[in-house]
Amino acid sequence: MTSGDKTYFTPESHRWATKRPMSAAVRAGDLLFISGQVSADANHKATTLGDVKAQARNAFAEIKALVTAAGGSMDDIVEIMSFHKDVRDMDAVFHVGGQVFKKDYPAWTALGMLGTYAPGFLVSIRAIAHLGKGKKKCVTPKSMAWMKKLPMSAACRKGDYLFTSGMVSADAEGKVISPGDHYAQARVCYDRLRDTLKAGGASLDDVVDMICFNQDARGMDDAVDCWCNEVVADLPVNQVTSYTAIGMTGFHKLGMVGVYRAIADFSEGPRVATNIPSVHWYGERIAGAAKKKEGRLIGISGQVASDGERNIIARGDPAAQARYCFNQIRGVLAKHGASMDDVVEIISFHKDPRAWQPVMQVGEEIWGKGRGPAWTPIGCTGLYLEGYLHEIYALAMV
């Protein structure tokens, strides 16, 4: 299905998705956004139960089918984000990834999760591919040499975009630095981010989207404070980037408490940030949505159900909180002259993994059934304020 310059892919293998406000993949310009793939049949029943390697192989096979249908190949994959029911399975999934990707590895962020659609799914893998012309450049600075043992690059650049892997607090050999210390690890990770951006020909001024994942949700304050007070302290609020903070179950190595991933855009012009007063970080150095002036990609901070005074909206009501989050997304997009039809990807994070169903029912009010953004629902351990049931992160293309 095509609308404007966006093409929506939901093949017969994803028949179950035609009943939801989502697409298996969405192409907008050169970018293809692929929803979290799981090991399932066409009716969404989990397959290869209990075998994480088999589930990973099936998920990558689905990604390959979707990117092929869009006119590309696995060589065009520039970013992977994998969510693991058991963090101890990460190395097994990396092993499968090493069979899928032979060189020019994509950026890859691996995260623990509480779960996704149903208990039988052990891993969910979402991806972004760049289908445009030009050579893919994959870089890994010396400070992150440990990544070279895995099928990932610190950053992957193609065309106007650069995607980073999740930055972690480790030395070049992979030994964890400052185990358990959120602020100290944040500082290391932001330094690693600078190294990676520089190696890819970018800078912090090119970043249009940031996500930080914390093993303990209480570490979000340290992560955000370090970012706002040390990294972007000199920027006016109308030039900052989006920033999403989520609590997850764990990361690749014991002692890692934070993971930081970014997207940079090389389009012309300065970064432009927008926000609306109905979010409590309005006026702080975190954008509701950010893009390059001449760019197409809009990074949208994870939206939550609280007003400008941090009062929780619709406490205990999953559908009402989701509706508020979507209205917040609509509001920040409008500031960029965009609409909900421009949303190409959603990752919805839920305190209760089962909440994906009422949230998608609210999504039907916006996109209807069988069409909409690539959508990945994930169970998380914590959000910024007690009382939030979800945080809804999105990307849009104008």
* Residues 227-268: tens digit of each pLDDT: 999 999 999 999 999 999 999 999 999 999 999 999 999 999
pLDDT at 3: 65
Q: Regarding beta strands 207-214 and 242-247, do their DSSP bridges make them parallel or antiparallel, or are they unpaired?
A: parallel
Number of domains in the chain: 1
Q: What share of the chain is helix, strand, coil (3-state, %, to 5)?
A: 30, 30, 40
Domain that holds residue 134: 2-397
pLDDT at 2: 64
Grouping H, G, I as helix, E, B as strand and the rest as coil, residue 387 is: coil
Q: Which amino acid is at 393?
A: Y
Q: How far is CA 282 from CA 194, 238, 275, in A?
A: 26, 11, 6
Q: How far is CA 118 from CA 48, 219, 351, 379, in A?
A: 14, 28, 14, 10
Q: Regarding beta strands 289-292 and 242-247, do their DSSP bridges make them parallel or antiparallel, or are they unpaired?
A: unpaired
pLDDT at 393: 98
Residue numbers in the chain where pLDDT is lower than 70: 1-4
Q: Which amino acid is at 45?
A: K
Q: How far is CA 22 from CA 332, 344, 376, in A?
A: 21, 9, 9
Q: Report d(CA 127, CA 146) in Å as an integer.
A: 22
Q: Report d(CA 22, CA 61) in Å as an integer.
A: 20
pLDDT at 357: 97
pLDDT at 5: 87
Q: Report d(CA 165, CA 184) in Å as an integer.
A: 19
Under DSSP, the state recorded for 194 is: H
Structure tokens at 371: 């069409």
